[in-house]
C-alpha cells in the first residue's frame, strides 16, 4: 500500500460537480496489502472516496495502476466526514473504464489531473 493515495473528492450537489478546492488527499506510508487511512480536515458535505496507486510511476492514471472508488452495500458512492470503518478496494485501472483519452469513466477531468499530480510527488 505504500505510496497509494486516498482522495476525498468534495461533491457539490447544487452544481452536480466536484469542487477541487474542498477535496483533500492523504498518501499511505505503510507496507502491506491493507492499511488504515484517515483524510482529515474535510469540510461538511458529501464526498466520493477514491484510492490510487501509480504502479509504473509515470505520473498518469493508466494500466498497470490501481484505482478504487468506495461504494456502500446499496451502491452509493457518497460519504460524509466522520464516517469510519470504510473499506476501499483498489483494482487495475482497466476495470474502471480507462479510455483512449486517458480519462476515467465517472471521474471529472480535474480529478484525473489531481491523481496525476499526486502520483508524481
Q: What percent of the chain has pLDDT over 90?
A: 28
List, for the chain, all residue ranges whose pLDDT scores fall below the cut of 70: 95-121
Q: Are 106 and 89 in contact (CB under 8 A)?
A: no
Cα dist. 49→13, 56, 58, 64, 68 in Å?
16, 22, 22, 21, 8
* pLDDT of the residue at 96: 63
CA distance 47 to 12: 9
Mean pLDDT of the chain: 81
User: pLDDT value at position 34?
Assistant: 87
In this prediction, residue 17 carries a pLDDT of 81
The predicted pLDDT at position 67 comes to 86
pLDDT at position 16: 82
- pLDDT tens digits along 59-83: 777 788 888 889 888 888 899 999 9
d(CA 39, CA 92): 23
pLDDT of residue 22: 92
pLDDT at residue 121, as a whole number? 39
Amino acid at each position: 500500500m505504500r505510496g497509494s493515495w486516498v482522495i476525498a473528492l468534495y461533491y457539490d450537489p447544487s452544481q452536480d460537480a466536484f469542487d477541487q478546492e474542498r477535496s483533500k488527499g492523504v498518501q499511505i506510508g505503510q507496507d502491506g496489502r491493507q492499511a488504515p487511512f484517515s483524510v482529515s480536515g474535510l469540510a461538511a458535505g458529501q464526498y466520493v472516496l477514491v484510492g490510487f496507486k501509480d504502479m509504473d510511476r509515470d505520473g498518469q492514471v493508466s494500466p498497470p495502476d490501481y484505482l478504487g472508488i468506495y461504494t456502500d452495500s446499496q451502491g452509493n458512492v457518497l460519504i460524509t466526514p466522520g464516517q469510519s470503518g470504510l473499506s476501499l478496494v483498489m483494482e487495475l485501472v482497466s476495470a474502471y473504464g480507462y479510455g483512449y483519452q486517458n480519462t476515467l469513466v465517472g471521474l471529472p477531468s480535474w480529478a484525473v489531473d489531481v491523481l496525476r499530480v499526486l502520483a508524481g510527488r
